Amino acid sequence: MLMLEKRPQPSKAWTLAAPLLAVVLTMICGGLLFAALGKAPVETIRTIFFDPLFSEFAWFYRPQLLIKGAPLALIAIGLSFGFRAGIWNIGAEGQYIVGAICGAAVGLAFYPTESFLIFPLMVIAGILGGVVWAMIPGILKVKFGTNEILVSLMLVYVAEQLLASMALGTLRNPEGMGFPGSRNLAKYDSASSWISENAGMHWGVVAAFIAVIFAYVILSRHQFGFNVRLAGQSPRAARFAGVNPKLLVLVCMGISGGLAGAAGLFEVAGPAGQISIDFNVGYGFTAIIVAFLGRLHPIGILLAAGLMALTYIGGEIAQSNLGLPGAAIQLMQGMLLFFLLMVDVLTNYRLRFGKGATV
Amino acid sequence: MTLKSILAGATIAASLSTTAFADDPTKVGFIYVGPVGDGGWTYEHDQGRLAVQEHFGDAVETVFVESVPEGADAERVMQQMALGGADLIFTTSFGYMDPTINVAEKFPDVMFEHATGYKQADNVSVYSARFYEGRAVQGHIAGHMTESNVIGYIGSFPIPEVIRGINAAYIHARAVNPDVEFKIVWAYTWFDPAKEAEAANVLIEQGADVILQHTDSTAPQAAAQAAGNVVTFGQASDMAEFGPFPRVSSIIDNWGPYYIARTQAVIDGTWVSTNTWDGIGAGMVGIGEISDAVPADVKASAEALRDSLASGEYHAFTGPLNKQDGSVWLAEGEVADDGTLAGMNFYVEGLTGDIPQ
């Protein structure tokens, strides 16, 4: 008989091995899926996971990985603080949108003045926008005990409506012939977040790497990182250790909101270029997967963001070159999270064969 | 002598066959905003792609990527197609406009065709269909069919293309039924079955017994079917599976002939940047079979309207027409010019509510 026995401590080896095993299982089952669709499984897997890195056109795809991965990493790093402390901000997508709107509004207000001060001001506005949007569920939780999962999620839809109204009204390009959408910030030198478009470098990529380093230092070396971990593992112990749970909620919401807002600003001022009705493409939600895939660890998140970016870009290549349906790619991305959660059982439980063992 | 001519002939034949062999098939790429199975907009573009494939056979290779978000992702997918050797790329949604222009700058040897936009370049053509002609026919039928005199309209985004459709439908509904009232819901999506169904239900609850949609899924059709007594029209695609009732007719986008012509132009080396805006007459817009749920006299008058639009004898925007605020837009007998239509951002007189700003 097969039995599960709870480990006294989560296994260190499995914590590291689980994501890798999940990726391997995804490749195998994804391959079976592709074979069932009548595509060569090995070639398809190779197209998705290796072509963006090593094919003839890798010079084009590698920078694209940075562009696609940076917002994911930036948002996921912010989320990881709250998730470790048991504070569930599901609405990063909304904070991302509001950050983009606030940052873009500042940039557009200065158009067409050129000054090196404009971009830093936009970054500050973007961060503040995200923080303010995250403070709504934060303060409601602290003051009235509302559920931050629901409130932050619902605020995503509010943010989407706000975005539509901005693209159609306040921020609409006056020279856009009546079509919705703002001016293109990427083409306005003082407001552009691009450093080098061909290299895929924009300030969001730089910010993502800086965030990883800061998060690593704070979580492993700083008292605040200790408090966060303690609050997540044992809220009672944290209270005895002098952690103020309300303050912790606000700080964690603030960090995740601020980073999501910054990601939105970097995106709107660079790769996306303009505020449009459907500016957001789900980075805030995908970042939740990235955070868990990366084990809420900064380095892990960086790798996970790279992996997710890889499946997006490789998936598009597979669609275009091999005629794979788009839904098959989404299915495979879903598999990745599914297998991770499945393999996670092994981190917390031991497999026992035979009978007699009491659980 | 004979041997010589045979040899010469063989050489020519050989050289011809090698050139034919060395020439890669012309590669035509398509970028879709929805899934190919949406049953509407993207489905019809994909039908156009299949028509190209069938017409040219092995001489042309077609590729596509579906559900591409408008923005940075679209730009990447287009570049990837261009790098992959595409000679001609159709970008089939309004929001691909700036990405198309950006990528076209980087690949001057690749031809681009952007649907429903207004930015052209040396290697970027724009094309669209005069869907408003089809909307005029829909409005005519809708005005006759409604008993509650409330017609619901599911708008996608408040862009000129959609506003043109609302105005054309309203003008022709009012022409046959002066008491008709339009209720407009903006879904802010091209394809989202859940949102579209919700919009349809809201309109039905508000008393609408005819629903026109400018979104791409069949969800509003299903909602109307569930309600039982609500008339709908197929959008972009025939949606015949919902006929003969609730779906009583449809606007069908027919891109195949255009796609074949443009592909041929690339093969022949005669492709130049153009601005195409064709309607019922050129066959780019089709009116789906008007079902028997529509009274015979209405069907006949709707078909007469369709034919007069096709022949160019009648224009869907013919004065006298006033703008919503009562100011004169078109005098008696005057027809709208394409420039005004292309950037249309006002309702005609009689429509209530504001265009979202």
- Whether B221 and B137 map to the same domain: the answer is yes
How big is the CA angle at A293 (ends A288 and A297), to the nearest 5 degrees? 90
B158 with A168: Cβ contact below 8 A = yes
Shortest CA gap A224–chain B (Å) = 37
Distance from CA of B290 to the nearest CA of A (A): 33
Query: How many domains would you assign to chain B?
Result: 2
Mean pLDDT, residues A321-350: 87
Examine residue A312 and state whether it is found in any structural domain, yes or no. no
The answer to whether residues B124 and B139 belong to one domain is no
Classified as helix, coil or strand, B154 is: strand
Task: Supply the pLDDT for residue A285.
Answer: 93
In a domain, B175, yes or no: yes
What is the span of the domain harbouring residue B45? 2-130+255-278
For A168, the closest of B63, B83, B356 (CB atoms) is B356
Residues B50 and B150 occupy one common structural domain: no
Q: Across chain A, where does the E strand assignment appear?
A: 2-6, 194-196, 201-202, 349-353
Condensed to tens digits (0 to 9), the pLDDT of residues A96-131 reads 999 999 999 999 999 889 999 999 999 999 999 999
Note whether B126 and B136 are same-domain residues. no
**Structural domains in chain A (count):** 1
Q: Please give the pLDDT value at position A13.
A: 84
**B325 shares a domain with B274:** no
Please tell me whether residues B194 and B183 are part of one structural domain. Answer: yes
Which residues of chain A are within 8 Å of residue B120 when distances are taken between CB atoms?
none
Q: Please write the tens of the pLDDT for every residue from A309-335.
A: 999 999 999 988 888 888 998 899 889
Q: Collect all residues of chain B within an 8 Å Cβ-Cβ radius of residue A180.
A: 157-159
For chains A and B, what is the number of CB pairs under 8 angstroms?
Answer: 95
Per residue in B316-341, pLDDT (tens digit) is 999 899 999 999 999 999 999 988 89
Whether A359 is in a domain gets the answer no
Identify whether A231 is part of a domain.
yes
Question: What CA–CA distances, in Å, run from B347 to A111, A291, B43, B177?
Answer: 31, 47, 30, 18
| CB spacing of A321 vs B67 below 8 angstroms | no
Distances (CA, A) of B9 to A201, B20, B22: 58, 16, 20
Predicted local confidence at residue B14, as pLDDT = 41
**Whole-number Å distance between alpha carbons of A193 and A100:** 12
Domain annotation covers residue B80: yes
Q: Within a 10 A sphere around the Cβ of A337, how many other Cβ atoms? A: 16
Q: Residue B13: CB partners within 8 Å, gap ≥ 6?
A: none
For chain A, the average pLDDT equals: 90
Are B72 and A321 within 8 A, CB to CB? no
% of residues, chain B, pLDDT over 70? 93
Which of A67, A317, A320 has the CB atom closest to B72's CB atom? A67
Determine, for residues A320 and B357 on separate chains, whether the beta-carbon distance falls below 8 Å.
no
Structural domain contains residue A273: yes
CB contact B81 to A (< 8 Å) = yes
**Domain interval for residue A195:** 73-295
Structure tokens at B227: 């309600």
Which tens digit of pLDDT belongs to each residue from A2-44? 788 888 888 888 888 888 899 999 999 999 999 999 999 999 9
Whether A34 maps to a domain, the answer reads no
Specify if B349 maps to a domain. Answer: no
* CATH code for position B315: 3.40.50.2300
What span, in angstroms and rounded, lies between the C-alpha atoms of A195 and A262?
Answer: 16
Q: Is the peptide bond before B246 cis (omega within 30 degrees of 0)?
A: yes
Question: Can you give the pTM of this predicted structure?
Answer: 0.83
Residues of B in contact with A325 (CB under 8 A): 35-36, 66
Would you call B119 an interface residue with chain A, using a CB distance cutoff of 8 Å?
no
Band (pLDDT 50/70/90 cuts) for residue A355 is low
Indicate whether B330 and B265 sit together in one domain. no
**What is the chain A residue with the closest CA to B355?**
A168
Residue B15 pLDDT class (50, 70, 90 cuts) = very low
> B178 and B125, same structural domain?
no
Interface touch B157/A325, C-beta < 8 Å = no
Is the separation of the CB atoms in B124 and B112 below 8 Å? Answer: yes
B104 and B212 belong to one structural domain: no
Q: Residue B297 falls within a domain, yes or no?
A: yes
CA-to-CA distance for B95 and B109, rounded, in angstroms? 23
Q: Is residue A331 part of a domain?
A: no
The answer to whether position B355 is within a domain reads: no
Question: Do B46 and B182 fall into the same domain?
Answer: no
pLDDT for B214: 94
The model's confidence at residue A354, banded by pLDDT at 50, 70 and 90, is low
Q: Give yes or no: residues B142 and B246 share one domain.
A: yes
> Which residue do the tokens 């007469």 mark?
B304
pLDDT tens digits along B110-155: 999 999 888 899 999 999 999 999 999 999 999 999 999 999 999 9
A62-66, A104-108, A238-242, B28-32: segment of lowest average pLDDT:
A238-242
The answer as to whether A211 is a domain residue is yes
- Do residue B270 and residue B315 come from a single domain? no
